[in-house]
Structure 1
Amino acid sequence: KNEYDTFMSSNFFVVRFDSDGNVLKTDVSRTSTVSEDEAQELAKEIVDSGKTDGKTGKYRFKITDSSDGGIVAVFLDASNEIVSYLRVLALSASVGLVCWGLMLVFVILLSKKAIRPIAENIEKQKQFITNAGHEIKTPIAIIRANTDAMELYNGENKWSKNIKDQTERLGGLMNDLLFLARMDENAGKVVTAEFCISELLEKEIENFRQSAENKDIDFSDDIAPEVMLTADRAQIEQLISIMLDNAVKYTDNGGEISVKLEKTERHKKIYFFNTCSEVPDSDPEKLFDRFYRGDKARTQKNGGYGIGLSVARSIAEANKGTISAKYTDNGIRFEIKF
């Protein structure tokens, strides 16, 4: 009864055919959107197609045989059904969005609460490094001054030279740690200006060429002329110095170092390559971790302490650049891209 009531409350029309396919009767009293001629034309089209049920346009149809051998074609207006589908779809989407929004707020609140202790610990570590660095600078300066005074009275000896070398090493380490702390806190000021990176690179190469010759290193360069770069000149100079110092320190006697600067349509790229006796078997990205040493040869005797490349990456990123490393068959290749 419910299905019949639903059907009778819907918009529909009926077309009856005799056994020869002639229209006997057309009932369009239950719809106002179709005339008799339109109903007959649509019914003939469906009957000729041989279909017994389906959908055409906004109507669902059913073709059945009548008791007198004829055919009855019933067409039901399904537009209300489409509207219902759309309403359900819109309601489901609205409920889904509300649930998603509530879940997002819930996750944000929980994540903030969960991350807060970690963020506080990281902040305390940064503050500790900054404070410790400033505190350590004073005794380093005193040790250096006392060593100089001692050498004035007793002359230089291997012990005083050792003290001076180690204080210089410790001072350099503290300066790098303080620099990284400032960069982590976004306090490292980047004063950008346009300058010729070609000239700066050539100048820095000359500063390290003698150190390379002392180790019989074959030092080659290929610098594109008049390449301009907008960045912090002092920081870029420090970056180049770190990369060249790194190359000279970790290249074996008789090895090779090459530096290349090229300009593409969108980027300026600097390549540093140096040979090494043993290529590390770890991920090249680890070379940029703080205090990481890529191979056994990278010991204290080389003067490094595993933080230079971390500083280099911080400088590159602060000046909207990237730095990456790649192993070759006989060495390591660094690429800096601005």
Structure 2
Amino acid sequence: MNMIKNLRRKFILAATAAVVIIVVGALGLINTIVYMRMHVQIESILSYISQNGGRVPLEKTPHGSSWFGDTDWSDDTPEFSYQTRFFSVLVNPEGYVENINIKNIAAFTEDEAIQYARSTVQEGKSRGFFKKGRASYAYMITKDQTGNFLIVIMDYTRDIGAVASFVRYSVSFGFICILLYIFVFVALCNMAVKPFVRNMENQKRFITNAGHELKTPIAIISANTEAMEFINGKNQWTGNILKQVQRLSKLINDLIMLSKMEERSQLDLTITKINMAETVTAVAESFRQMAADQGKKLVCHITPMVYVNADAKCVYELVNILVDNAVKYCDDKGVIDINLKKGKKILALLLPLPILMQREQL
């Protein structure tokens, strides 16, 4: 169950991360387009005012389009000249003010207009932005054929406010969509995982029941064989029967043990600091005589003083199964090389892969 929970958690996290990346990318692209469109619109208006000598004609409105589509102010509306809040300052090549137009703005006096116009010229940029109080302004500096400089400064507070509101609403909408997706996906994920959980539970139940059912006939065979040896004496056939009975009993116990280990939760484990080198050495020594009886050589290359935080019983059982399989499936007169190495962040227990097992799998 822990494995299913971990897989389910990782699957939900991966899917959620993918959705977050998509939503964030989409919102970022949309908001970027809106922000760039606002800049294009502002520059178009400033260019239009500059082309008309720092004024907006009452009889017509600007027309134009850009890569981001037609601008909002390009419609033929007579209110455009009254909605645009700006002022312009004309400066000759010697730096003297030739003309000031502050009819379309109320936030600047003539002195303030001259002061801000000079500050924009001193920045050395042909266009830019600045703030005055809570208001935001954009400016553009153009030079005519006579060498005069026309500075046009326009209030774009409403535009930047609209973009900021759009960004806030879009981010809130995206966040709500992500939360709804998580809730819906978690509910659907539970439904999708149920068949796998049911199959795993049935498999574990089958292994446990089959193991217990097989123990009875194996115990009867073992008892009858021992009775035959008691009556008729030991011989090669009864010895082989008992040997295979012991092997089957061990295999059944291993299956049941592995099935129970998967069912154990983290709370059932007793995590302590154990000497892995001593555990591997003890298991290897217990199989050394068995390997020698089968004409096999068991060699150990174990790094001393290797400690891990784990459940001692589970680690011992795991190493015991690995070494038992290595001895059991090793070739005749083969060498079983057990290596225990410690890396910077990992611990490696290396055992030879038996050729017999490879052939059986093929």
Matched, 1:176 2:254: yes
Structure-2 residue corresponding to 1:313: none
Matched, 1:127 2:205: yes
Rounded to whole Å, the distance in 2 between the matches of 1:110 and 1:215 is: 55
Matched, 1:55 2:128: yes
Matched, 1:81 2:155: no
Rounded to whole Å, the distance in 1 between the matches of 2:270 and 2:149 is: 88
Structure-1 residue corresponding to 2:276: 197
Q: Is the 8 A contact 1:250 1:298 kept in 2?
A: no
Matched, 1:210 2:289: yes
Counterparts in 2 of 1:4 and 1:62: CA distance versus 1, 3 Å: farther
- What amino acid is the match of 1:24? E
Counterparts in 2 of 1:219 and 1:185: CA distance versus 1, 3 Å: closer
Rounded to whole Å, the distance in 1 between the matches of 2:245 and 2:121 is: 101
Matched, 1:248 2:361: no
Q: Name the SS of the counterpart of 1:103 in structure 2.
A: helix
Q: Which has the higher contact order (CA 8 A, sep 6+)?
A: 2
Rounded to whole Å, the distance in 2 between the matches of 1:219 and 1:241 is: 14
Root mean square deviation of aligned Cα: 3.8
Rounded to whole Å, the distance in 1 between the matches of 2:89 and 2:212 is: 97
Structure-1 residue corresponding to 2:215: 137
Q: How does 1:57-72 map to 2 (within 5 A)?
A: 57=130, 58-62=136-140, 72=150
Q: Name the SS of the counterpart of 2:128 in structure 1.
A: strand
Deviation at 1:182, TM superposition (A): 1.2
Q: Which moved more, 1:230-239 or 1:255-264?
A: 255-264
Q: Which moved more, 1:217-226 or 1:127-136?
A: 217-226
- What amino acid is the match of 1:233? A
Q: How does 1:78-117 map to 2 (within 5 A)?
A: 78-117=156-195
Q: How does 1:130-169 map to 2 (within 5 A)?
A: 130-169=208-247
Q: TM-score, normalised by structure 1?
A: 0.67
Counterparts in 2 of 1:8 and 1:20: CA distance versus 1, 3 Å: farther
Q: Is the 8 A contact 2:127 2:141 kept in 1?
A: no
Q: Is the 8 A contact 2:88 2:151 kept in 1?
A: yes
Deviation at 1:262, TM superposition (A): 4.4
Deviation at 1:93, TM superposition (A): 1.5
Counterparts in 2 of 1:34 and 1:249: CA distance versus 1, 3 Å: farther
Deviation at 1:228, TM superposition (A): 4.1
Deviation at 1:86, TM superposition (A): 1.4
Deviation at 1:88, TM superposition (A): 0.7
Structure-2 residue corresponding to 1:185: 263
**Structure 1: gaps (5+ residues):** 279-292, 300-338
Q: Name the SS of the counterpart of 1:295 in structure 2.
A: helix
Structure-1 residue corresponding to 2:88: 14
Deviation at 1:250, TM superposition (A): 3.1
Structure-1 residue corresponding to 2:57: none
Rounded to whole Å, the distance in 2 between the matches of 1:59 and 1:129 is: 77
Matched, 1:24 2:98: yes
Deviation at 1:294, TM superposition (A): 4.5
Q: TM-score, normalised by structure 2?
A: 0.63
**Structure 2: gaps (5+ residues):** 1-60, 62-75, 131-135
Matched, 1:231 2:310: yes
Q: Name the SS of the counterpart of 2:79 in structure 1.
A: helix
- What amino acid is the match of 2:230? L
- What amino acid is the match of 2:185? V
Counterparts in 2 of 1:150 and 1:90: CA distance versus 1, 3 Å: same
Q: Identity of paired residues, percent?
A: 33
Counterparts in 2 of 1:91 and 1:40: CA distance versus 1, 3 Å: same
Rounded to whole Å, the distance in 1 between the matches of 2:260 and 2:280 is: 25
Counterparts in 2 of 1:26 and 1:119: CA distance versus 1, 3 Å: same
Structure-1 residue corresponding to 2:358: 295
Give per-residue Cα distances to partners, 1:26-53, cap 9 Å, x unaligned.
Answer: 34465455453443244356668997x7
Q: Name the SS of the counterpart of 2:352 in structure 1.
A: strand
Aligned residues: 282
Q: Is the 8 A contact 1:250 1:297 kept in 2?
A: no
Counterparts in 2 of 1:144 and 1:107: CA distance versus 1, 3 Å: same
Q: Name the SS of the counterpart of 1:156 in structure 2.
A: coil
